[in-house]
């Protein structure tokens, strides 16, 4: 059997090489940027994916050897990896019409998200008119003005977060924060999406099952699924997981479709009495099918809740290891906001150091260290290299955020490095949403035409939770040992979350409980 697989694989790759030679053999430019080192025949660099080191770190180390732009061969597929902010600016931003398509595993696009032709989520659409149309709809509901309209939801949800943490810390010396933070991020986005039909209590199993569905969907980026993309013959050899992924889709349809049905029934009964929310705006526009709306919210909630939750978890772990930084944030809140109320959204400009802590967390532990893969929609020439159409383009945020020129001592968690940026923003009075690389001191939300459409929502959600948590509590390590910030929960996951850790929660002052009424 192994011999047969190797023979067929060899034949497949040989045919692929032959097609490339026929198609590009007469081109004078070098086909693809330089290859990463340690490439072996047929398999290319695939075996490096099983090493006990993250792929993004492998790519960063290779960039130090062969340059910031290089090619990785993975069986019959080729990835061009961008490891510098200049390369991202040159291609993802300045040539965005070419570098804004998608090339994602079919298990994700077809089996989980129902496929583009059936109304699958717009985040997975190739670049083109249909994607631009759906993107415009999404952007209309997530501009900063709309986020301001949802401020009461953030206020209520963070009060619930504080109350849940407070009650559990009274019962236990050390607690895990994961479920409480997941509850905050998911209920915030669900309520913005569907209104007050999403008042899930803390510990509601349906909520955490929905969060787990997001993780199961993300697994379609995993090693096994990628291998079948690199070596298509394996799709006919390895046991099929279609039934598993269809189960994920079925359960997503049950959860999000059920909420959509409930909201539509309420809306049709009395449109004027229905509270303002994202789905109400979409229904009023009448531009999307039920399947498109459901997939809209699936990605909206899944991507937004998991990445925001992991950012907050990383931040608390980092501050637990560095009480001086934590105390500096508390002092800033005490002096500029006071302790008789919680910080509000309008107080963000008075808390520049907290902003620096959030920016540094997103740089230091970006929730998606290699972003979502882009793809070329046509051939392109860059630095005398030919990058063919349908080439996967990887933005290695991990390497960019560890650039010692851009971020001196990049392995040090040092929020002050962003203070100049924050002070400049204070004079501008607003934070823009654009496709440049200069808007923020990190690229955690990606950039270019595929920049995260929910960027303002994520930033508001993180700020509201972080400011309240640090105004009310001191977070202390369970023991003298530092919290492990070097070992992620899953080294192979496309999203980066910390390994589970316990933390002591100590009230900062005597009237914390006055903020805990939901």
> What is the per-residue DSSP string for 140-203?
HTTSHHHHHHTHHHHHHHHHHHHHHHHHHHHH-SSEE-HHHHHHHHHHHHHHHHH-GGG-PPTT
CATH number for the domain that contains residue 257:
1.10.630.10
Q: Provide the residue range defining the domain that includes 231.
A: 2-515
Instruction: Report the candidate in 370, 369, 366, 390 with the shortest Cα–Cα distance to residue 378.
Output: 390
By three-state DSSP, how is residue 490 classified? Answer: coil
At residue 356, the pLDDT reads 98
- Closest-CA residue to 418 (of 461, 365, 462, 355): 355
pTM of the model: 0.90
Determine the pLDDT at residue 59.
Answer: 97
H or E element at residue 400 = helix 397-400
Token representation of residue 404 = 């010692």
- If we measure between CA atoms, which residue out of 386, 387, 327, 362 comes closest to residue 508? 327
Phi-psi region of 44 (alpha: psi -120 to 50; beta: other; left: phi over 0): left
Q: What pLDDT score was predicted for residue 21?
A: 47
What is the structure's pLDDT at 253?
A: 83
Whether the CB-CB separation of 221 and 102 falls below 8 Å is answered with no
Burial group, residue 399, by CB count within 10 angstroms (0-12, 13-18, 19+): buried
Looking at the structure of the chain, the number of domains it has is 1
pLDDT per residue as tens, the chain (518 positions): 445 445 555 555 555 555 554 555 544 578 999 999 999 988 899 888 888 899 999 999 999 999 999 999 998 899 999 999 999 999 999 999 999 998 777 666 665 566 555 666 677 788 888 889 888 888 888 888 889 999 999 999 999 999 999 999 988 889 999 989 999 998 999 999 888 888 777 767 777 777 777 777 766 666 556 667 777 777 667 666 777 777 888 888 888 888 899 888 888 888 777 788 888 888 888 788 888 888 888 888 877 888 999 999 999 999 999 999 999 999 999 999 999 999 999 999 999 999 999 999 999 999 999 998 999 999 999 999 999 999 999 999 999 999 999 999 999 999 999 999 999 988 776 555 566 788 899 999 999 999 998 899 999 999 999 999 999 999 999 988 999 999 999 888 888 899 999 999 999 998 898 888 65
Q: What is the pLDDT of residue 26?
A: 46
């Amino acid at each position: 059997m192994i011999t047969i697989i190797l023979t067929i694989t060899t034949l497949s790759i040989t045919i692929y090489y032959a097609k490339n030679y026929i198609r590009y053999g007469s081109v004078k430019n070098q086909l693809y940027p330089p290859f990463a080192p340690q490439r072996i025949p047929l398999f290319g660099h695939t075996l490096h994916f099983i090493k006990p080191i993250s792929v993004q770190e492998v790519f960063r180390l290779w960039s130090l050897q062969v340059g910031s732009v290089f090619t990785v061969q993975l069986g019959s597929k080729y990835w061009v990896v961008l490891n510098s902010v200049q390369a991202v600016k040159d291609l993802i931003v300045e040539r965005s019409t070419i570098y804004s398509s998608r090339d994602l595993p079919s298990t994700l696009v077809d089996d989980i998200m129902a496929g583009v032709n059936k109304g699958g989520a717009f985040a997975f659409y190739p670049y083109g008119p249909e994607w631009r149309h759906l993107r415009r709809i999404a952007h209309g509901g997530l501009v900063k003005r709309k986020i301001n309209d949802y401020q009461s939801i953030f206020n209520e949800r963070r009060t619930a977060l504080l109350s849940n943490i407070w009650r559990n810390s009274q019962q236990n010396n050390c607690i895990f924060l994961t479920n409480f933070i997941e509850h905050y991020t998911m209920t915030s986005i669900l309520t913005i999406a569907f209104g007050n039909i999403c008042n899930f209590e803390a510990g509601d199993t349906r909520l955490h099952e929905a969060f787990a569905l997001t993780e199961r969907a993300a697994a379609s980026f995993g090693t096994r699924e990628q291998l079948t993309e690199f070596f298509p013959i394996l799709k006919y050899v390895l046991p099929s997981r279609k039934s598993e992924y269809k189960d994920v889709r079925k359960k997503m349809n049950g959860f999000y479709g059920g909420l959509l049905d409930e909201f539509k029934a309420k809306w049709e009964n009395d449109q004027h009495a229905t509270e303002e929310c994202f789905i109400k705006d979409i229904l009023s526009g009448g531009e999307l099918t039920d399947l498109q709306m459901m997939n809209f919210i699936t990605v909206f909630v899944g991507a937004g809740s998991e990445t925001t939750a992991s950012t907050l978890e990383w931040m608390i772990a980092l501050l637990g290891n560095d009480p001086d930084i934590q105390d500096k944030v508390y002092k800033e809140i005490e002096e500029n906001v006071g302790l008789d109320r919680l910080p509000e959204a309008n107080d963000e400009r008075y808390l520049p150091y907290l902003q620096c802590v959030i920016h540094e967390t997103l740089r230091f532990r970006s929730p998606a260290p290699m972003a979502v893969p882009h793809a070329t929609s046509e051939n392109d020439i860059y630095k005398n290299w030919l990058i063919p159409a349908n080439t996967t383009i990887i933005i290695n945020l991990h390497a960019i955020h560890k650039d010692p020129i851009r971020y001196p001592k990049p392995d040090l968690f040092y929020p002050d490095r962003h203070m100049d940026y924050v002070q400049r923003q204070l004079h501008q009075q607003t934070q823009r949403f654009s496709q440049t690389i200069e808007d923020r001191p990190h690229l955690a939300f990606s950039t270019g035409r595929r920049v995260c459409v929910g960027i303002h929502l994520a930033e508001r959600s993180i700020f509201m939770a972080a400011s309240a948590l640090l105004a009310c509590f001191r977070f202390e390590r369970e023991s003298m040992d530092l919290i492990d910030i070097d070992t992620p929960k899953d080294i192979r996951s496309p999203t980066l979350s910390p390994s589970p850790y316990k933390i002591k929660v100590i009230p900062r002052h005597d009237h914390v409980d006055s903020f805990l009424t939901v």
